[in-house]
Structure 1
Amino acid sequence: MPEAEAVSTYALIAGFLGGLGLFLLGMTLLTDGLKTAGGKALQHILGVWTRTRPRALASGMGVTALVQSSSAVTVATIGFANAGLLTLGQSVWVIFGSNVGTTMTGWLVALIGFNIRIEAFALPAIGIGALLYLFMKTARPRYLGLALAGFGLLFFGIDVLRETFEGLSATFDLSALARPGFVGLLIMVGIGALLTVLMQSSSASMAMALTAAMSGAVPLEAAAAAVIGANLGTTVKALLVVIGATPNAKRVAAAHVIFNGLTALVALLILPWFLAAIAWIWGSTGEAPAPAVLLALFHTAFNLLGVALMVPVAPPMIRFLQTRFRTREEDIAQPRFLDKHSGGVPDLALQSLLQETERLADISHSMAREALRPDPPAAGTLDARRAAVEQLTAAISDFAARTANHPMPEAVGHGIAEAVRIARYHRETAVLADQIAELRRHSTGEERPIVSEQRRAWQEQAIRALDLANLESENGRDLAATEAVSTVETAYAELKAALLREGTFGSLSMTEMERQLRIISMARRLVTQADKARRHTEALEDQIQGLRKTLEPENA
């Protein structure tokens, strides 16, 4: 009967779409309700409970099991890494834990969805949850009601899917999709991954695989391959989230892909034996597991296997990822000359320190120039270089401290201490440049044109002094640099007097006068710090040249 067949086909399609829609809607309401009711609990747990690897792993597992969404935890973790609130080492273990935590959905489906009459609790849960959401005034009970309604809809959708698959298996041979051999398993992995990407929910793909296996529509091994694919499909959302994000966020997403990819590969290679071992272990209790329970066990077991694989793999993986997705700012923050081997030879260590302080000088000089140019730099422009200066200064100090543990001539020890002092001068220059830029961005520019012109001329003099302080040593430079600093000092006193007059006689507000006085005072100090760094660097270079001469063998 063509008409009967058409009705049957329509019923199957409607049942599949309706059941899937109910499941996805229920999962969304459950996740959103729990996340909102929890307030800042997710941020607190991920931000505070992740100090060690076991705690980070447990946090990822617990939060994912609570909110029933590994994607939500993954996105939150990437967000915290993006903001610098979590390190890469903390983030990757939270991600590993979230993959284990997401297996809770499979257990809910396997233990409740197929063993209890859905109507007995799903419909009351939907009703009670809806009433709480509609009539409660405070936020937490309302959103807990939303989560309860979502919980009921989720299992109501599972029941509709189960009935649909039972009817589908009687009408069509779905097992034809599951071709024999490894190629057939790869096809099922691809189907599971594709469904996860399309529905943006590995839980939905997992539920479909469990209901298909439970109704006998597809073989157990094929359903397990689809579960592997669902796990693998979650990486797509992580990759989409990090488009345009910071390098650290991209590294977390890459760690997620590596973990899921490695886990999926190992689980697929040992799939038949893995399922047989789980069935044998469970069967030793005297009762063969239901297909849905077996799949839930398999899902949990292969994610735990993935975590076990990561224990030795994670440290080198993190080191590898730290070298990837680097920005220019991160590269300049890495020491280039402070090699640990040269640290054991004090003379070489001194030369390395001098070269590294020269790099530090270039960074701080570029910041100082930008801070004093006619238009102040935009907000955030100097942040990356300021962080690079801090990191390089710390690296120079650490390297000098390690070198100091080795025996050395007094002159070399003095030179190493001088290198640390020079680094601190450059750091102070960078800090002042950052503060000046911030003050200038808030300046109102209300002073009279004659004072504005005087201020701009003084800034150009300060920039010239900075340029002379950062030039390579050459004849006549010392005198020119000294004269430039003296000019800046004289012009500073004149500009300060002009600003005080403007503020006193009311043509400049007292607030703006104070701001301008702070700016020029900081800029004057900035020039002084740069000049001190120049003078100490020249002295250190002369000392190193003298040391080289004393170490050269006498000519015959």
Structure 2
Amino acid sequence: MPEAEAVSTYALIAGFLGGLGLFLLGMTLLTDGLKTAGGKALQHILGQWTRTRPRALASGMGVTALVQSSSAVTVATIGFANAGLLTLGQSVWVIFGSNVGTTMTGWLVALIGFNIRIEAFALPAIGIGALLYLFMKAARPRYLGLALAGFGLLFFGIDVLREAFEGLSATFDLGALARPGFLGLVIMVGIGALLTVLMQSSSASMAMALTATMSGAVPLEAAAAAVIGANLGTTIKALLVVIGATPNAKRVAAAHVIFNGLTAIVALLILPWFLAAIAWIWGSTGEAPAPAVLLALFHTAFNLLGVALMVPVAPPMIRWLQTRFRTIEEDIARPRYLDRSSSGVPDLALQSLIQETERLADIGYSMARAALQTAPPAAGTLDRRRLATEQLTRAIAEFAAYTAHHPMPEQVGHGIAEAVRIARYHREIAILADDIAELRRQSSGEERPIVTEQRRAWQEQAVRALDLCNLEADDGTHNGHQLAATEAVETVETAYAELKAALLREGTFGSMSMAEMERQLRIISMARRLVSQAAKARHHTEALKARIRGLRKTLEAESA
């Protein structure tokens, strides 16, 4: 192999690996930054913009037309889905809209030969984002900076990938590969997809097809097939983004692939008639369209056709995708006992709510035990389970609200409201457990052995109290468990005051830094509240089951 060729091959491989690495790193930073900085506020804003299918579709179209990059919108949407800020239903319609919005690039190239490149903003975004992250004190601006830097890195990676194949378009002759017949069209679809993958830009592939058509090097049908392939080639970015991403992000990427694949197949099958119909409609105005304009019009028309095809297909597709890429946490979050068919029978609905709430309790208590064990759980271990408990709590509340629309005895209505209240206690336990685990991982461990032993003994007392609170509620014949749980909670309260005093002494007299003292005080304060929430949950569960026993006795007496 000649030396120049070897260098060229090395540059191609190095550019591809480097660009891919920057792309994936940028996606990770973007997701983490959005998740931490955005929170519920960003989720609310996105929810308003994408609340309905028309809004989500219009958002995808408008933003993509504005930034001139369907990749930007697709990647950002997958990032939002990965961070839990957009649902699958919202995300897919934004993606569909972005495919329509990206056709604006073809119109710009066809009409004025101008193409905006968002990659030009990558380096300033990285610089500004890094400065915000390094020098801002408040958490939200810092993590917004992290997200901005991630966004810049992501598109810098795309630019590196594009430059790795920069000379490809200059040496690649589309006209030489055009073949007659349907097989020739299929070949052109493959070429368009390959060029988009290699150059990481469907706009570049579109521009090549438009140029080849205007010069007469490629017939209109063959160029249209290459445009279909360019559209199909954009899915590779979505597939790259979801490497190691959440199941919801993978579902969004899969929806993107399904949409582009289905649209490509239909457009290819009806290509000659489709182009003829477009030419006839445009020609009816009395002006013969230029080939480039006709090709841009075709690009828009077949993406709109794809959206029309997805109107009936999207709902079953979303339901099917929700069964794919499932994780243990998602299986935990899926209700097992809440069936809408039982909501019309108040007694059954209440029993279902109690069973689901007990499931939620088991998850929360297992998280609490993990957070308070000798060694804190690994990072991320409890995060996903916390999200699962929040989803399950929301499902319990929604089921209760749905049940409330049916007539029911007052006692049952109070019981259903009480079940929702108990579920909220268990959700709070899960949230506190996750926060405690995170603080414990940050701990420096700079305390005297005697305090360490005192803290460990207190944690064991807290775990014992939790276990007693989580024992199956009494059947009314004895109150041994309740008394034991109450005594355990009181012991935790007493030991808490002693441990707090010991930590304050450690921090005051310098054997522990003030920062570590504050961290340890927050940990034991959260753990104390966790035990308190467990005691409240048990108390209300006992009261609820006593209410149910009383209701059953009343019904039995009435039936007798």
Structure 1 length normalisation: TM-score? 0.73
Matched, 1:485 2:486: no
How far did residue 66 of structure 1 move?
Answer: 4.1
The number of residues matched between the two structures is 471
Name the aligned partner's letter for residue 197 of structure 1: V
| 8 Å CA contact retained: 2:91, 2:252 | yes
For residues 533 and 546 of structure 2, what CA distance do their matches in structure 1 show?
Answer: 20
What is residue 162 of structure 2 aligned with on the other side? none
Counterparts in 2 of 1:287 and 1:523: CA distance versus 1, 3 Å: closer
Residues 520-535 of structure 1 mapped to structure 2, 5 A cutoff? 520-535=524-539
Counterparts in 2 of 1:264 and 1:461: CA distance versus 1, 3 Å: same
For residues 285 and 515 of structure 2, what CA distance do their matches in structure 1 show?
Answer: 81
Note the alpha carbon deviations across 1:254-277, whole angstroms, 9 max, x for none. Answer: 121121112112212221211111
How far did residue 362 of structure 1 move?
Answer: 0.8
SS of the equivalent of 2:376 reads: coil
Name the aligned partner's letter for residue 524 of structure 2: I
Residues 248-327 of structure 1 mapped to structure 2, 5 A cutoff? 248-327=248-327
For residues 350 and 218 of structure 2, what CA distance do their matches in structure 1 show?
Answer: 71
For residues 77 and 552 of structure 1, what CA distance do their matches in structure 2 show?
Answer: 56
For residues 272 and 239 of structure 1, what CA distance do their matches in structure 2 show?
Answer: 31
Counterparts in 2 of 1:285 and 1:330: CA distance versus 1, 3 Å: same
For residues 405 and 52 of structure 1, what CA distance do their matches in structure 2 show?
Answer: 25
- Structure 2 runs not aligned, ≥5 long: 1-7, 13-18, 20-37, 129-158, 160-165
What is residue 179 of structure 1 aligned with on the other side? 180
For residues 63 and 420 of structure 1, what CA distance do their matches in structure 2 show?
Answer: 40
| 8 Å CA contact retained: 1:465, 1:484 | yes
For residues 418 and 94 of structure 1, what CA distance do their matches in structure 2 show?
Answer: 39
Counterparts in 2 of 1:50 and 1:294: CA distance versus 1, 3 Å: same
Q: 1:537 aligns with which of 529, 536, 541?
A: 541
For residues 559 and 484 of structure 2, what CA distance do their matches in structure 1 show?
Answer: 38
Counterparts in 2 of 1:388 and 1:362: CA distance versus 1, 3 Å: same
For residues 286 and 273 of structure 1, what CA distance do their matches in structure 2 show?
Answer: 20
Counterparts in 2 of 1:534 and 1:185: CA distance versus 1, 3 Å: same
How far did residue 280 of structure 1 move?
Answer: 1.5
Counterparts in 2 of 1:530 and 1:199: CA distance versus 1, 3 Å: same
| 8 Å CA contact retained: 1:106, 1:296 | yes
What is residue 31 of structure 2 aligned with on the other side? none
Name the aligned partner's letter for residue 80 of structure 1: F
Deviates more, 1:531-540 or 1:498-507: 498-507
Residues 391-410 of structure 1 mapped to structure 2, 5 A cutoff? 391-410=391-410
What's the RMSD between the two structures over aligned residues? 3.9
How far did residue 218 of structure 1 move?
Answer: 3.6
For residues 217 and 510 of structure 2, what CA distance do their matches in structure 1 show?
Answer: 87
Counterparts in 2 of 1:508 and 1:403: CA distance versus 1, 3 Å: same
What is residue 39 of structure 1 aligned with on the other side? none
What is residue 209 of structure 1 aligned with on the other side? 209
| 8 Å CA contact retained: 1:178, 1:219 | no
What is residue 471 of structure 1 aligned with on the other side? 471
Matched, 1:519 2:523: yes
| 8 Å CA contact retained: 1:178, 1:218 | no
Name the aligned partner's letter for residue 179 of structure 1: P
What is residue 37 of structure 1 aligned with on the other side? none
How far did residue 482 of structure 1 move?
Answer: 4.0
Amino-acid identity (%) = 83
How far did residue 90 of structure 1 move?
Answer: 3.5
Counterparts in 2 of 1:418 and 1:512: CA distance versus 1, 3 Å: same
Residues 173-252 of structure 1 mapped to structure 2, 5 A cutoff? 174=176, 177-180=178-181, 182-252=182-252
For residues 102 and 307 of structure 2, what CA distance do their matches in structure 1 show?
Answer: 14
- Structure 1 runs not aligned, ≥5 long: 1-16, 22-27, 29-42, 114-120, 139-149, 151-156
How far did residue 499 of structure 1 move?
Answer: 3.7
Deviates more, 1:64-73 or 1:251-260: 64-73
Counterparts in 2 of 1:453 and 1:274: CA distance versus 1, 3 Å: same
Counterparts in 2 of 1:293 and 1:384: CA distance versus 1, 3 Å: same
Deviates more, 1:378-387 or 1:336-345: 378-387
Counterparts in 2 of 1:371 and 1:178: CA distance versus 1, 3 Å: same
For residues 470 and 432 of structure 2, what CA distance do their matches in structure 1 show?
Answer: 17
How far did residue 349 of structure 1 move?
Answer: 1.0
| 8 Å CA contact retained: 1:82, 1:245 | yes
Note the alpha carbon deviations across 1:500-523, whole angstroms, 9 max, x for none. Answer: 554565545555445434433432
For residues 98 and 249 of structure 2, what CA distance do their matches in structure 1 show?
Answer: 16
Residues 425-464 of structure 1 mapped to structure 2, 5 A cutoff? 425-464=425-464
For residues 62 and 514 of structure 2, what CA distance do their matches in structure 1 show?
Answer: 56
Residues 77-156 of structure 1 mapped to structure 2, 5 A cutoff? 77-112=77-112
Counterparts in 2 of 1:294 and 1:368: CA distance versus 1, 3 Å: same
What is residue 366 of structure 1 aligned with on the other side? 366
Deviates more, 1:231-240 or 1:380-389: 380-389
